[in-house]
Structure 1
Amino acid sequence: MPSKSSARLAALTVAAVCSTVSAVVLTSPAQADSVHIHDIQGTTRLSPLAGQKVTDVAGIVTGVRTYGSSKGFWIQDPAPDADPATSEGVLVFTSSAPKVAVGDSVTVSGTVSEYVPGGAASGNQSLTEITKPTVTVLSGGNTVPAPAVVDAGSVPSRYTAAGDTAAGGSINGLTLEPAKYALDYYESLEGMNVQVADARVVTATDPYSELWVTVKPREHANRRGGTVYGSYESQNTGRLQIQSLGSTADFPTANVGDELKGTTAGPLDFNQYGGYTLVANQLGTLEKGGLARETTRKQSRGELAVATYNVENLDPSDATFADHAAAIVNNLQSPDIVSLEEIQDNNGATDDGTVAADQTVRKLIDAIVAAGGPAYEWRSIDPVNDKDGGEPGGNIRQVFLFNPDRVSFTDRAGGDSTTAVGVTKVRGKAQLTVSPGRIDPSDAAWNSSRKPLAGEFVFRGRTVFVIANHFASKGGDQGLAAQYQPPARSSETQRHLQATAVNAFVKDVLDTQKNADVIALGDMNDFEFSDTAKILEGDGELWSAIKSLPKSERYTYDYQGNSQVLDQILVSPSIRRGCDVDYDSVHLNSEFSDQVSDHDPQVLRFRP
């Protein structure tokens, strides 16, 4: 989607390669003569020489970065010390294209600095580097130090030590234990030449020419080649990001389950978008795994099929309508009800007060018909301009599509962007006061976030209440490789409030009609094991249907080498207790480099 992502692509492309832009420690530099690289790196994450000037630091050039705002090169001491905690490599930040080559023997004088990619507020670990360098090339064509082999045997199974409570939970000051903790092991190799071999891809190539591999092929593996993230306590230690020092045109276009055969080698960097990253001088040969997009089964005549699908900031200018339509018709088998997330207004990110999305929805419905699907009808509520978060000006919202040949929508007037939907009892049955309606849109839980859309449907004479959700994103959370362990998940606070509000509404429905069929679905932006999910489920008011799958198959999204759950379909007890309840996470996007959305859709089939 170039029209919407070009600015972000440019920014993140720079950020991905600019993780080492210098941030010099503002102290009066002292002098440290005749030091080795391992003296600079020390036995913790912070250099004992930070802020000091060093002279004639010797090493062999192992990698050169000539592009972006992170121009520089890595040097490594070919005569290591005996301490496995001290790295023998370091980045020399030059700010302009370096005048050295791989294999040069050099001495470097400059100032030791600790740079935090993304800034201190990100909580990221820092990267040790030499800044403002004076470089002397002594000779060329020298043998580069052999890369340290990173494999299943060398990476510990434990992820990290807990942070020092006296230091606010930071691990920066802890002495590295590379034989015990994975994060310590990677830190002990920071700046050094490393290699992986025959590594399986666990996150597909993204638009920024990077992918993720695992050096532990058996670690929480799923049947499609990914690595599943199943709890906060079971980190996947074998994940490693791969970038390249070569041309982006030569970077492999890989899907999950593919393999980088042979050796991939280069310096080990640390950046804002993923942490420890092998920046390759040498890339393995891509061997395709042949991963195919999944197709779910067709619902039977007596089954109601309800789906959720995040279509990633869809607006009329996008070129993905035919692809989304084909996915809905062919891969999802034309569900009876489809909850769509991230439908943008009629002019997308143009911030001119437009909030209507009828053109966006009509274009998608027309594409579905052209693909051989049903002529869906739709219901939604336009948001207040610029009040629902997402891409500025885009006014994303949830939309219901439904097949009128299979299901009907119960319209009740009065629902709008600021009116709260309620529940009443009519002839012993629960009924929405407005349909469609929004759940408590004035509640602070929904500030700068999408408000849930509730609708009342009828299938074969049975009323089904459907609540379409798109909870607050994980933006602002600290990364898995943060200096604070465990990392802070600040975004949870709002999602917990949102989950509380949705659960309270479902409870109102069930208090009114105990056996009501209620479905809450959408992009919950949180895991099935999270407190957000627990709050949503409450005291049994709802149950996340993805938990009906084996743990190795529970994922809807792929991020930094982790196959994980963000999208969920939760059901009330009457549905859960019913016969032939069938849930499917349909993997057609998240594992592929040519994805049209970053989320996989899900389908629930049941007999009301």
Structure 2
Amino acid sequence: MTETTAARNPRSRRRLLRATVLSSSVAASLVLVPLPFATAAPSADAVVSEVYGGGGNSGATLKNDFIELANKGGAAFGLDGWSVQYISGTPGASSTWSVTPLSGAIAPGGRFLIAEAAGTGGTVALPTPDASGTLALSGTSGTVALVQGTAPLTCKTAADCAADTRIRDLVGFGTAVVHEGSASAAGASNTASVARGAGLPDTDDNAADLKAGVPTPVNSKGETADAGDGSGATGPTEPGTVRIHDVQGNTRISPKAGSTIPGIPGIVTGVRTTGSKGFWIQDATPDADPATSEAIFVYTGSAAPTVKVGDSVLVTAKVTEYYPSFTGGSQSVTELSAPKTTVLSSGNPLPAAVRLDGRSIPAAYAPEAAGATIENLPLQPAAYALDLYESLEGMRVEVADARVVQATDKYGELWVDASCEDPATRRGGVVYLGYDRPNTGRLMVQSLIPAAEGAFPVANVGDRLTGTTAGPLDYNQFGGYTVAATTMGALKDNGLKREVTARPLPSEATIATYNVENLDPSDPDEKFAQLAQGIVTNLRSPDVVALEEIQDDNGAVNDGTVTAGATVAKFVAAIKAAGGPAYEWRSIDPVDGKDGGEPGGNIRQGFLFNPARISFTDIPGGDATTAVDVTGTGKATALTASPGRIDPGNEAWTTSRKPLVGQFSFKGKPVFVIANHFNSKGGDQGIDSRFQAPTRSSEVQRTKQAAVEHAFVAKLLAADPGARVVSLGDFNDYQFSPALQTLTEGGVLRDLVNELPASERYSYVYQGNSQVLDHILVSPGLKRQHVDYDVVHVNSEFAAQASDHDPQIVRIKP
């Protein structure tokens, strides 16, 4: 399994991924000339956004006090080593500051919730806090500070605290002596918090910046404490002056983020009762600006909404920005949280859906920002596909007669391509041919339709959803922009067949690569049988098969086991049962926990070979930590160990698989085969990242790995320029990537995928893009006329898969 698409839970995990620290954004404190009242420096990033001390008190609904932080900045604000601190409203000589240490980070535009002491009353728990402490805040008067460090403050006056450079932000409420500006924020009580208004104002005047209101705690995941059940008992009765397009604004971040907006009107266009629960509303009277979306998702937390599609509603709620995958660079989703909802009427017609097709989707994908965020750039929906999708966030969209470009997966989702302009594979997908060609029409499709009203279509690549597929345009961390379908097109089967490679000549050696996706003895017999059938039938029993992701004998059990004899024996038996040869096996057990992959799995590469057709040259000396070398020259060129590992101590292979090289003999001629599994793409920003161009941090290690292998092959060819070398496997990178360019530099190896027609260059499908991750490369000693290469499509395009990779095979005449 390529680790960018590691095993995941269903969409219910949408809000269970928490932002982690990327970097700290800590600006130096400013020293201001004293004013008539004491002030610190207004914060451009982290602020105390809400304080509530009435938790569990008489009349309170919430059980706990809380402090909510927010980040107004454009980068993550690191909290490691920081604290929030509290002192009473009228501190005396013996009064001290109480401390809650913090860790983690606040995402740009995000919230960070700190649960404090609980009272004996209240009925509603806070949403899952990002941090917890035991501060017993007063419900009516006190001071809270965000502090760099965890040592208790010593200041007890407004002036002294304004001079303390450790204090990033300070909120005095009620009649607190210690406050910013002219006075403390008024109105705190057992039922009211003090919170910043629209845009999180911070003029360093607590009385002006914070107002009292119903407590609305929001954590970093966008979760709230409000049930959001749509009962209308406490919902608004009159529409306010703010409309959805005002909330959405003309950039990716709402100008109203952090504000609680009363009486937002809209028509319910979709309801989600599982996973991330909530509903979409859309304004039936849009404005004239194409950059401002007319719809928004209303997040109801753990409670399933009771509104129905077609309801006309008023919603009073807090505007939040939710990042489905902050560390992955995802876009944010502007949402309404902690909603109070009133249903005005039902059965209303829905706003017309926007048609997405080759005419409406721009050819350019995203604005370029030299790797910086595009969040604050004005949207240009006519110029860029990502801007178009953002300008339609939450709105009803539709695709017609849509071609499936990624098969239905086990989570009930598939991908279609809405643009006929994207380059098609010959089997119906869209092919990814360069970083500058991301294919703009790709959209995920999920369903809001109850299972009782129709099962989700089980589709393969090339099938079609005929008619109209329509629903709100969502965004999630696993796939980007998604049609949450309330209407699903009818499935038309295109009859896609699994490929079978050409029959080899007796004079040809056949060498294949197959990533068998974390294979271990506990996998069902069906998986072994399907993989074996692929080798015997579809690959026609190659002479050599380089396997990737063979796990140790107890799979993911993390007990120090590194042997894989049981895994391989079960696989070889399955191949024989499918009518294949009695393969033999060569590999090297890794050092426990040093090769990456699933913890405890100890994945490794290995060679299956048919001794009736090709022989393996066993040369002792190879182990997990000893580097293989080259000995001899000309026809006497050989390896110092076979099997052996290429420079396993090199830092390029840290927590990654080391290439396995073996020396074979076919009809008396040596053939050197290198089995590869380069490091994963984990940590890379996605194509649809809010950073453009996206950062592909994992490329650095793969490029180093390619350089190490390139040097080894060059040494082999220096000893014998005519040496027959086949390097193959899961390189976890594209034919146009720096890693593959490094590996082929100077013609030491040539990547055979580049010799296929462009429409056939793929072995894997991810986010609707058919792409190359697996490769077979050969040395100059294997002339073009003696090499026949094939990617055998048996998995990546099908809903039923034995692996997520397609195998590849090369036929050579040494």
TM-score of the two chains, using structure 2 as the length reference? 0.72
Cα–Cα, structure 1 residues 183 and 578, in superposed 2: closer, same or farther, change >3 Å? Answer: closer
Residue 567 (structure 2) pairs with residue 360 (structure 1): yes
Cα deviations by residue, 1:297-338 (Å, 9 ceiling, x for unpaired): 121111111100000001111121111111001000111111
Please name the residue that 1:60 is paired with. 267
What is the aligned counterpart of 2:620 among 413, 417, 421? 413
What is the aligned counterpart of 2:414 among 187, 211, 218? 211
What is the aligned counterpart of 1:29 among 196, 207, 213? 196
What is the aligned counterpart of 2:485 among 270, 280, 283? 280
Q: Secondary structure at the match of 1:493?
A: helix
In structure 2, distance between residues paired with 1:566 and 1:235: 16
Matching residue's letter, 1:97: A
Please name the residue that 2:379 is paired with. 176
In structure 2, distance between residues paired with 1:574 and 1:463: 12
In structure 1, distance between residues paired with 2:497 and 2:529: 19
In structure 2, distance between residues paired with 1:321 and 1:406: 24
Q: Secondary structure at the match of 2:246?
A: helix
Matching residue's letter, 1:238: G
In structure 2, distance between residues paired with 1:453 and 1:172: 44
Please name the residue that 1:397 is paired with. 604
Please name the residue that 2:721 is paired with. 514
Matching residue's letter, 1:468: A
State how 1:71-470 maps to structure 2 within 5 Å.
Answer: 71-95=277-301, 96-119=303-326, 121-163=327-369, 165=370, 169-247=372-450, 250-319=455-524, 320-425=527-632, 429-470=636-677
Conserved? CA contact 2:633–2:719, under 8 Å: no
Q: Secondary structure at the match of 1:61?
A: strand
Please name the residue that 2:117 is paired with. none
Q: Secondary structure at the match of 2:279?
A: strand
Report the alpha carbon displacement of residue 169 of structure 1 after superposing the two structures with TM: 1.2
Q: Secondary structure at the match of 2:709?
A: helix
Residue 555 (structure 2) pairs with residue 555 (structure 1): no
In structure 1, distance between residues paired with 2:754 and 2:13: 37
Q: CA RMSD in A?
A: 2.0
Report the alpha carbon displacement of residue 13 of structure 1 after superposing the two structures with TM: 3.6
Report the alpha carbon displacement of residue 580 of structure 1 after superposing the two structures with TM: 3.3
Conserved? CA contact 1:20–1:271, under 8 Å: no
Identity of paired residues, percent?
Answer: 57
Conserved? CA contact 2:466–2:490, under 8 Å: yes
In structure 1, distance between residues paired with 2:410 and 2:614: 40
In structure 1, distance between residues paired with 2:242 and 2:784: 71
In structure 2, distance between residues paired with 1:414 and 1:455: 12
Matching residue's letter, 2:196: P
Conserved? CA contact 2:633–2:720, under 8 Å: no
In structure 1, distance between residues paired with 2:315 and 2:265: 7
Cα deviations by residue, 1:6-32 (Å, 9 ceiling, x for unpaired): x97563442258789999546943169
Matching residue's letter, 2:385: A
In structure 2, distance between residues paired with 1:84 and 1:19: 32
Matching residue's letter, 2:520: D
Please name the residue that 1:51 is paired with. 258
Matching residue's letter, 1:29: R
Q: Secondary structure at the match of 1:507?
A: helix
Cα deviations by residue, 1:38-81 (Å, 9 ceiling, x for unpaired): 0011111111111111111100000011112x111100000011
Report the alpha carbon displacement of residue 533 of structure 1 after superposing the two structures with TM: 0.4
Report the alpha carbon displacement of residue 431 of structure 1 after superposing the two structures with TM: 0.7
Report the alpha carbon displacement of residue 130 of structure 1 after superposing the two structures with TM: 0.8
In structure 1, distance between residues paired with 2:634 and 2:416: 58
Number of residue pairs matched by the alignment = 598
Report the alpha carbon displacement of residue 579 of structure 1 after superposing the two structures with TM: 2.2
**Bigger Rg, structure 1 or 2:** 2
Please name the residue that 2:168 is paired with. none
Cα deviations by residue, 1:202-227 (Å, 9 ceiling, x for unpaired): 00011111100001235200110000
Conserved? CA contact 2:312–2:343, under 8 Å: yes
Cα deviations by residue, 1:421-453 (Å, 9 ceiling, x for unpaired): 000115753110010000111111111111110
Matching residue's letter, 2:595: D
In structure 1, distance between residues paired with 2:313 and 2:778: 65
* Moved segments of 4+, more than 6 Å: 17-23
In structure 1, distance between residues paired with 2:449 and 2:519: 33
In structure 2, distance between residues paired with 1:131 and 1:288: 41
Structure 1 spans left out of the alignment, 5+ residues: none
What is the aligned counterpart of 1:14 among 12, 24, 45? 12
Report the alpha carbon displacement of residue 247 of structure 1 after superposing the two structures with TM: 4.0
In structure 1, distance between residues paired with 2:250 and 2:292: 5
Cα deviations by residue, 1:486-538 (Å, 9 ceiling, x for unpaired): 11001101101110111111011001111100111000000011111011112
Cα–Cα, structure 1 residues 31 and 297, in superposed 2: closer, same or farther, change >3 Å? Answer: closer
Conserved? CA contact 2:634–2:720, under 8 Å: no
In structure 2, distance between residues paired with 1:463 and 1:428: 9
Q: Secondary structure at the match of 2:683?
A: coil
Matching residue's letter, 1:571: V
Q: Secondary structure at the match of 2:9?
A: helix
Matching residue's letter, 1:310: N
In structure 2, distance between residues paired with 1:462 and 1:524: 27
What is the aligned counterpart of 1:543 among 724, 743, 750? 750
Q: Secondary structure at the match of 2:743?
A: helix
Q: Which has the higher contact order (CA 8 A, sep 6+)?
A: 1
Q: Secondary structure at the match of 1:187?
A: helix
Conserved? CA contact 2:550–2:604, under 8 Å: yes
In structure 1, distance between residues paired with 2:706 and 2:6: 30
Conserved? CA contact 2:198–2:258, under 8 Å: no
Conserved? CA contact 1:25–1:50, under 8 Å: no
Q: Secondary structure at the match of 2:514?
A: strand
Cα deviations by residue, 1:213-265 (Å, 9 ceiling, x for unpaired): 00123520011000000001112001000011134671111100010111111
What is the aligned counterpart of 1:495 among 702, 720, 724? 702
Conserved? CA contact 2:12–2:274, under 8 Å: no
In structure 2, distance between residues paired with 1:138 and 1:24: 32
Conserved? CA contact 2:634–2:719, under 8 Å: no
Matching residue's letter, 1:326: Q
Matching residue's letter, 1:185: L
Report the alpha carbon displacement of residue 86 of structure 1 after superposing the two structures with TM: 0.6
Cα deviations by residue, 1:385-409 (Å, 9 ceiling, x for unpaired): 1111111111100010111111100
Cα–Cα, structure 1 residues 578 and 212, in superposed 2: closer, same or farther, change >3 Å? Answer: closer
Which 10-residue stretch deviates more, 560-569 or 368-377? 368-377
In structure 2, distance between residues paired with 1:12 and 1:469: 31
